[in-house]
């Protein structure tokens, strides 16, 4: 018997404080560097952070969305010898910081990094990265409490860096830093958190504990997302969304993600569709697909959505239509693009976590049905694809 995926998260989560006061206390007199994205250093919030102690030894603010291996290499080389890294930003910043502290701890050994990313070779046991303090400025990624980060190959392949030493030492949660998020980023990141929660439920590695965290996340997003979009400066609503992302992240930290994330990667790599939309637009169809395997497994989702088990897919579709997900999707995706995909939609590591197996052709059919329901103007084929899926059950 293999006792895989026990619940565990060594990251200490700090809430209830202004982030720079909390970070000041955590840093003490240690030398530190700041990793963030362009735009933040010019804002007032960042001034509060950079005034701490004697200031950061370096401010590395060139983090692009969906960071690539080449940019991680540059980042690690630019990282001075410091005692701790503070990562302030969304998922791309947090993931890039994990990649950089790992590569620097490897003595900038790109061969070892690529062996890990490409071939799954474990990072050396004696790797000793500097501790990481994360301050998420979006509410979706979950990276503040996970041991992995997404890094894209310069050939558009999605890789994960994954090591227990990459759990952040601290996640400092201050919802005030989320109030400047624009509406589409608020929506996309919330959908990412929603996808983490649902993927934790229809996951072979789920537990009663992860189900509970996932259900809390789904309920909080259901109850607060529209309000967060309408009242972006409301810190209490941002706090609830942050709690949702944290709960979903903690659930996912144990289970990892599953089919909806597997399908998402070519949409982000090839079309630039933001991750939150890419990993969520198929949720209703994945729910429908997984219900045929084990309907009761989705009970935590149904109760969190306040609907019957049978109504989960339709409830999600109606909700996503209200949220305008199709408007974003339609700017990036076409039916013909999906039709051109096959094996690309199956990331073995992710899809293997799903409670029901799938092949590339079926995943394409599922993605097409999801797209055509959310973007009916793009094609008249949605009902037809749904009927095909239903008849194939």
Distance CA 137, CA 133 (A): 13
Our CB check for Fe ion shows the closer of 237 and 283 to be: 283
| Shortest CB 87 distance to Fe ion, Å | 17
DSSP label at residue 203: B
Our CB check for Fe ion shows the closer of 347 and 386 to be: 347
Token pair of 185, please?
Answer: 């980023």
Residue appearing with tokens 């490897």? 106
| Shortest CB 142 distance to Fe ion, Å | 7
Residue appearing with tokens 């990459």? 166
Our CB check for Fe ion shows the closer of 216 and 385 to be: 216
| Shortest CB 252 distance to Fe ion, Å | 8
Our CB check for Fe ion shows the closer of 192 and 285 to be: 192
What 3-state class would DSSP assign to 54?
A: coil
| Shortest CB 353 distance to Fe ion, Å | 13
Our CB check for Fe ion shows the closer of 123 and 279 to be: 279
| Shortest CB 386 distance to Fe ion, Å | 25
Which residue's CB comes closest to Fe ion?
192
Secondary element (H or E) of residue 172? strand 170-173
List the Cα angle 98/9/222 in 5-degree steps. Answer: 90
| Shortest CB 211 distance to Fe ion, Å | 18
Residues that bind Fe ion (CB under 5 A): 192, 279
| Shortest CB 193 distance to Fe ion, Å | 8
List C-alpha distances in Å: 87 to 9, 40, 82, 97, 349.
Answer: 19, 12, 14, 6, 27
Identify the CA nearest to 94 among candidates 63, 48, 130, 59.
63
Distance CA 155, CA 121 (A): 20
Secondary element (H or E) of residue 357? none
Our CB check for Fe ion shows the closer of 279 and 300 to be: 279
Is the CB of residue 373 less than 8 Å from the CB of residue 386?
yes
| Shortest CB 181 distance to Fe ion, Å | 16
Our CB check for Fe ion shows the closer of 150 and 290 to be: 150
Residue 20: HSE in the Cβ half-sphere, 13 Å Cα cutoff:
15
Our CB check for Fe ion shows the closer of 204 and 231 to be: 204
Our CB check for Fe ion shows the closer of 279 and 366 to be: 279
Complete DSSP assignment for 267-298: HHHHH---HHHHTTTTHHHHHHHHHHHHGGGG
| Shortest CB 126 distance to Fe ion, Å | 30
List C-alpha distances in Å: 239 to 16, 41, 179, 236.
Answer: 10, 23, 10, 5
């Amino acid at each position: 018997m293999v006792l895989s995926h026990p619940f565990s998260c060594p990251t200490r989560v700090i809430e209830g404080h202004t982030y720079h006061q909390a970070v000041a206390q955590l840093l003490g007199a240690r030398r530190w560097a700041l990793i963030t994205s362009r735009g933040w250093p010019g804002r007032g919030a960042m001034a509060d952070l950079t005034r701490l102690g004697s200031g950061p030894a370096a401010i590395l603010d060139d983090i692009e969305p969906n960071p690539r291996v080449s940019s991680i290499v540059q980042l690690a080389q630019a990282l001075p010898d410091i005692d701790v890294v503070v990562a302030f930003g969304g998922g791309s910043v947090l993931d890039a910081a994990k990649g950089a502290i790992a590569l620097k701890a490897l003595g900038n050994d790109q061969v070892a990094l690529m062996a890990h990313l490409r071939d799954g070779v474990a990072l050396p046991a004696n790797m000793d990265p500097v501790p990481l303090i994360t301050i998420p400025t979006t509410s979706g990624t979950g990276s503040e409490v996970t041991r992995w980060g997404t890094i894209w190959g310069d050939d558009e392949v999605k890789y994960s860096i994954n090591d227990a030493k990459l759990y952040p030492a601290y996640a400092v949660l201050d919802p005030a830093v989320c109030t400047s998020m624009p509406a589409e980023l608020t929506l996309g990141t919330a959908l990412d958190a929603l996808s983490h929660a649902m993927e934790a439920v229809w996951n072979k590695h789920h537990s009663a504990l992860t189900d509970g965290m996932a259900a809390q996340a789904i309920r909080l997003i259901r109850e607060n997302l529209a309000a967060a979009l309408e009242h972006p400066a409301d810190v209490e609503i941002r706090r609830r969304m942050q709690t949702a992302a944290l709960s979903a992240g903690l659930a996912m930290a144990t289970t990892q993600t599953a089919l909806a994330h597997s399908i998402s990667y070519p949409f982000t790599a090839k079309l630039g569709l933001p991750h939150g939309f890419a990993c969520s637009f198929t949720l209703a169809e994945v729910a429908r697909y997984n219900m045929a395997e084990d309907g009761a497994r989705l009970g935590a989702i149904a109760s969190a959505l306040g609907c019957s088990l049978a109504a989960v897919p339709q409830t999600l579709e109606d909700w996503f239509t209200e949220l305008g997900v199709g408007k974003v999707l339609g700017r990036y995706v076409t039916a013909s693009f999906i039709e051109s995909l096959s094996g690309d939609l199956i990331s073995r590591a992710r899809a293997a976590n799903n409670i029901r197996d799938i092949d590339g052709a079926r995943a394409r059919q599922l993605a097409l049905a999801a797209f055509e329901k959310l973007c009916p103007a793009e094609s008249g084929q949605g009902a037809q694809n749904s009927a095909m899926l239903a008849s194939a059950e």
